[in-house]
């Protein structure tokens, strides 16, 4: 048994060349220390004629046994102590980074108010406070302020506090909201009387946090989670004042590969139940005036057909991929919802992905994606005419924002890019006039002209053109000497659109280039982009990312001596895969809450979310899927060879990627790899998948990651 768990770091030779901005690199003196050795309890997996011995399976024990598994807690705390020691020389830098990133945030701030049902709603923050206050004003912005929820006060005494799912009853008297104090995305729904300030006895535990009011102002519908697997299994109905243990199940999902949820039409006419997986979906609906009624199936689920429903004043709209890979828009009467009654409104287009629609009384806003970028099409429901909003940048993110009001001709939308701070606009769909309401303020000053953004295309191994969005500070010299951080995700059809980050300025101002590889597995280039990076084609995600890295080196944006990779969750799987496949390409890797033990996780149906993911990764109980997943799973493919410098982060209460995946991965890496490069594991003992809940605390995590990169570049005083 090899009990070697840690290596000390030997830095590479001093880099003598400097970037144009004259940053001097000095070798960071990593401290040396002995690391604790953990007991190993082998676990043997035999499946499909394949036998695997797992020496680190015992790290699952905390999850299986709960807080009684003290040996796991001690191990993670020892890892944290090791990381703290190894990073001790960067403490001053981490503090400096935290202070400068925090210093860019306007501490006393207010969101742009949105109007709903007679009130303007907004949140505001106060200087020195980590959270916010949820407020409203009646009818106009000069009216007296009502603080509906003081989250700063509610969070006192909690190391983690998340409040969300704010939902005001139709008569404006009651507020339902969800609270998670563990960071496991298990929310308790509370109800507050906004006239008296009383928190009602109706505390509903084990939910997804959101809820829907029926129009009687007494009935709440919500999603109940399985406490073990966290699967969304039941839609419940609660009557105010009733015992929550007696809440009625109005829908039970028997397919454990589907997610379910409950929502309400913007017009207030219908309540929806949505059930969907990766390949098919189903919607039920109920008249919101009849909360004790039965939900009606809109269209029974069809194999490999997804659809979603939106209600206009006189008909339903349906976004579906039925015989339409990139989706199309259909419509049907209220009383004839079966697919045989659907009529085409917007046809399928092979070069345009139809993502969503936002409904208004006289207009429809269609979110489309073409050439990797979002377009917002405004359709006049009176005459059928259509026009597009113009954004005027090469790479950007645009999206309909908070538009809860149905009877309006004003579209609220958000806009940002790698160089443009987050901006909120109102757009008059009649006059076509847009008004900037607010742009994120960068305290201390920010000049967009000081930064440059580009859109590049790397050629993948199979000839596919993979987009890259990147940003750097003016004065950058494309000679291969600049450090570059390449970020990737590539899963679930999630698109990594380019957006602004004030924290990222700490990288750019020190000479880093920041780039996003829009790899297959996302949905940047259409639905086929997603389908080409999932299931038995998952490896395209990894090779795309590697090809993007090599392209950036070939084009002298950087070199392998200065190239870094970062990704989180499914993007952490990407990090593990590229570390195994092309370790020589990267100087360092930051893997955030990484999903790296894919085979074991997808075989364990007791772990949260596993069965929901079968259509994304495959079910390893099937031999073909098992062999394919095993061929790329980072934990399964660690080899005795040199790896880059790696920083791994996780959270003890993570509900999405359990802490033991990165912990096992790090332990096995240390015992197997042949290099002396640094390998660090940082576990947040109070947090979960999303990290800290406060608006400043999360900056400490970023400061650690940036300090790790700067240390590898010798940028530590």
654 vs 668: CA distance, rounded Å:
21
**What is the C-alpha end-to-end distance of the chain, expressed in Å?**
41
Rounded Cα distance between 623 and 614, Å, is: 14
The two tokens of residue 199 are 């928190």
> If residue 367 lies in a helix (H) or strand (E), which one and from where to where?
strand 363-370
Cα separation, 102 vs 123, in Å, equals 19
- For the stretch 340-366, pLDDT in tens is 999 999 999 999 999 999 999 999 999
Q: Are 63 and 661 in contact (CB under 8 A)?
A: no
Report the alpha-carbon distance of residue 296 to residue 312 in Å, rounded: 18
CA distance readout (Å), 18 to 23, 70, 131, 485, 713: 6, 48, 41, 17, 11
Residues marked active site are found at 569, 654, 689
Give the bridge partners for 472, in sequence order: 452
Q: Could you state, in order of their start, the residue ranges of all structural domains in the chain?
A: 43-103+451-712
Residues composing the chain: 717
Residue 160's Cα: distance from chain center in Å? 18
Q: In degrees, to the nearest 5, what angle opens at C-alpha 45 toward C-alphas 589 and 65?
A: 75
Euclidean distance between CA atoms 699 and 691, whole angstroms: 10
In terms of C-beta density within 10 A (0-12 exposed, 13-18 middle, 19 or more buried), how is residue 227 classed?
Answer: exposed
* β-strands 645-651, 679-684 pairing: parallel
**Residue 449 DSSP SS3:** helix
What is the spatial distance between Cα 417 and Cα 233, in angstroms, rounded to a whole number? Answer: 38
99 contact partners, CB below 8 Å, separation of at least 6: none
Please identify every stretch of the chain with a pLDDT value under 70, giving residue numbers as ranges: 1-40, 63-68, 654-656, 687-695
Calculate the alpha carbon distances from 476 to 194, 442, 453, 471 in Å. Answer: 55, 22, 12, 10
Q: CB count, 10 Å around CB of 628? A: 19
Residues 237, 248 contacting (CB under 8 angstroms): yes
The Cβ-side half-sphere exposure at 74, using a 13 Å CA radius, reads 9
Reading across the β-sheet that carries 259-264, which strands appear in turn? 259-264, 270-276, 281-287, 296-297
Q: What is the CA radius of gyration of the chain?
A: 26
Distance CA 286, CA 290 (A): 7
Strands 588-592 and 563-568: parallel
Specify whether the CB–CB gap between 480 and 496 falls below 8 A: no
Q: How far apart are CA 662 and CA 648, in angstroms?
A: 7
CA dihedral over 509, 511, 514, 515, signed as positive or negative: positive
CB 106 within 8 A of CB 441: yes
Count of beta carbons in the 10 Å neighbourhood of residue 124: 15
Angle at CA of residue 533, ends 414 and 524, nearest 5°: 25
> Of 48, 41, 228, 63, which Cα lies nearest the Cα of 661?
63
Residue 144 CB partners (closer than 8 Å, separation 6+) = 137, 138
What lies within 8 Å, CB to CB, of 302 at 6+ separation is 280, 322, 339
Options 3.30.2270.10, 3.40.50.300, 3.40.50.1820, 3.40.50.920; which CATH number does 43-103+451-712 get? 3.40.50.1820
Compute, in degrees rounded to 10, the torsion defined by CA atoms 286, 288, 294, 298.
0
Do 156 and 144 form a contact (C-beta atoms < 8 A)? no
Residues 489 and 522: beta-carbon distance below 8 Å: yes
* Rounded Cα gap, residues 646 and 462, in angstroms: 29
Token digits for 157?
């005494």
Tokens 């909690």 identify what position? 158
pLDDT in tens, 260-271: 999 999 999 999
pLDDT of residue 351: 94
Distance CA 706, CA 508 (A): 11
Tell me the sheet residues that pair with 83.
none
Nearest residue to 257 via CA among 216, 297, 301: 301
Helix axis angle for 539-554 and 570-581, nearest 10°, is: 60
Please report the DSSP string for 564-594 in residue order: EEEEETHHHHHHHHHHHH-GGG-SEEEEES-
User: Nearest Cα to 210, choosing from 258, 168, 152, 158?
Assistant: 168
Q: How many angstroms separate the CA atoms of 180 and 251, rounded?
A: 24
d(CA 314, CA 470): 45
Instruction: Look up residue 200 and give its DSSP letter.
Output: P
Q: In whole angstroms, how far apart are CA 161 and each of 114, 154, 225? A: 25, 8, 19
């Amino acid at each position: 048994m090899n009990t070697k768990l840690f290596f000390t770091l030997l830095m590479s030779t001093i880099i003598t060349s400097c970037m144009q901005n004259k940053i001097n690199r000095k070798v960071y003196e990593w401290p040396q220390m002995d690391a604790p050795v953990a007991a190993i309890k082998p676990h043997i997996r035999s499946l499909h004629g394949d036998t695997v011995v797992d020496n680190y399976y015992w790290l699952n024990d905390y999850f299986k046994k709960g807080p009684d598994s003290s040996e796991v807690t001690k191990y993670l705390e020892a890892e944290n102590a090791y990381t703290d020691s190894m990073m001790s020389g960067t403490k001053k830098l981490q503090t400096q980074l935290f202070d400068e990133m925090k210093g860019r945030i306007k501490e006393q701030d207010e969101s742009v108010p949105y109007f709903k049902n007679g009130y303007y709603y907004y949140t505001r923050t106060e200087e020195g406070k980590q959270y916010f206050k949820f407020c409203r004003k009646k009818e106009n912005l000069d009216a007296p302020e009502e603080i509906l929820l003081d989250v700063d006060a509610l969070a006192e005494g909690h190391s983690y506090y998340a409040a969300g799912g704010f939902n005001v009853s139709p008569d404006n008297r009651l507020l339902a909201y969800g609270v998670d104090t563990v960071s496991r995305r298990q929310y308790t729904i509370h109800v507050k009387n906004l006239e008296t300030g009383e928190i009602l006895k109706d505390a509903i535990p084990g939910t997804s946090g959101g809820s829907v009011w029926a129009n009687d102002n007494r009935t709440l519908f919500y999603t109940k989670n399985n406490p073990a697997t966290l699967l969304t299994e039941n839609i419940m109905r609660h009557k105010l004042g009733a015992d929550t243990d007696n809440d009625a199940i109005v829908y039970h999902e028997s397919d454990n590969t589907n997610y379910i949820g409950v929502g309400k039409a913007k017009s207030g006419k219908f309540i929806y139940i949505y059930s969907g997986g990766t390949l098919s979906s189903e919607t039920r609906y109920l008249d919101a005036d009849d909360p004790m009624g039965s939900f009606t199936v809109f269209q029974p689920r069809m194999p490999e057909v997804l659809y979603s429903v939106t209600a206009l004043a006189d008909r339903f709209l349906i976004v579906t991929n039925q015989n339409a890979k990139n989706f199309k828009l259909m419509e049907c009467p209220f009383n004839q919802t079966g697919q045989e009654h659907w009529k085409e409104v917007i046809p399928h287009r092979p070069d345009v992905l139809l993502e969503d629609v936002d409904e208004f009384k006289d207009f429809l806003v269609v979110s489309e994606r073409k050439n990797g970028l979002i377009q917002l099409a405004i359709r006049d429901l009176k005459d059928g005419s259509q026009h597009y909003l113009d954004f005027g940048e090469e790479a950007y993110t645009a999206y309909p924002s908070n538009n809860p009001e149905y009877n309006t001709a004003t579209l609220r939308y958000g806009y940002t890019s790698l160089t443009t701070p987050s901006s909120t606009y109102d757009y008059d769909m009649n006059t076509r006039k847009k008004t900037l309401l607010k742009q994120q303020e960068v305290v201390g000053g920010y000049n967009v002209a000081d930064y440059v953004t580009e859109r590049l295309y790397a050629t993948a191994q199979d000839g596919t053109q993979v987009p890259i969005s990147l940003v750097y500070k003016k004065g950058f010299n494309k000679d291969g000497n600049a450090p570059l951080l390449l970020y990737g995700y590539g899963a679930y059809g999630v698109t990594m659109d380019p957006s602004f980050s004030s924290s990222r300025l700490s990288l750019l101002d020190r000479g880093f280039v920041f780039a996003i590889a829009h790899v297959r597995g996302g949905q940047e280039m259409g639905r086929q982009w997603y389908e080409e990076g999932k299931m038995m084609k998952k490896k395209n995600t990894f090779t795309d990312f590697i090809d993007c890295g090599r392209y950036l080196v070939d084009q002298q944006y950087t070199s392998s001596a200065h190239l870094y990779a970062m990704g989180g969750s499914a993007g952490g799987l990407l990090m593990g895969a590229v570390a195994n496949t092309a370790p020589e390409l990267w100087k360092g890797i930051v893997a955030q809450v990484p999903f790296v033990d894919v085979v074991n996780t997808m075989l364990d149906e007791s772990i949260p979310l596993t069965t929901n993911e079968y259509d994304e990764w495959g079910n390893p109980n099937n031999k073909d899927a098992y062999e394919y997943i095993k061929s790329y799973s980072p934990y399964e493919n660690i080899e005795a060879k040199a790896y880059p410098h790696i920083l791994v982060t996780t959270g003890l209460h993570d509900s999405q990627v359990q802490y033991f995946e990165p912990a096992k991965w790090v332990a096995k890496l240390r015992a197997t790899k042949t290099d002396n490069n640094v390998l660090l594991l940082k576990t947040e003992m109070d947090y979960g998948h999303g990290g800290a809940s406060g608006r400043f605390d999360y900056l400490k995590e970023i400061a650690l990651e940036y300090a790790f990169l700067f240390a590898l570049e010798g940028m530590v005083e």
